Amino acid sequence: MDRELIEAALALLEQKQPCALATVIQVKGSAPREAGTKMLISADGSITGTIGGGCAEAAVRQEALEVIKRGCPTIYHLDMTADTAADEGMVCGGVMDVFIEPLVALA
């Protein structure tokens, strides 16, 4: 994780603000980022870092907001292959799995 992401997460947690960490865990084919890439999403929808931008990132951001509400982690599957991607405006053509976990402040 880069310093900016860690500092942003710590700041949110110190303020007792809910957030989620999205980590690319698997990539097949062409994708905007490689495994290990991370993005922090706060409950207000703001982000720190990027997992590639565009529709794929917006979908992960939306799922992260649900993870924050539920308080349970999930693996989000992004299909950016030809047929699916064309409908959404994606151009990468691969598949990406993203682990999204809620981050909570300790009492």
107 residues of the chain, pLDDT tens digit each: 689 999 999 999 999 999 999 999 998 887 777 889 999 999 999 999 999 878 888 999 999 999 999 999 999 998 877 655 455 555 567 889 999 999 987 76
pTM of the model: 0.86
DSSP assignment string, 23-77: EEEEEESS-SS-TT-EEEEETTS-EEE-SS-HHHHHHHHHHHHHHHHHT--EEEE
Question: What range does the domain containing 22 cover?
Answer: 3-103
Per the structure, the count of domains in the chain is: 1
Q: Could you tell me which of 49, 23, 32, 24 has the C-alpha nearest to residue 94?
A: 32
Nearest-angstrom CA–CA distance, 58 and 42: 13
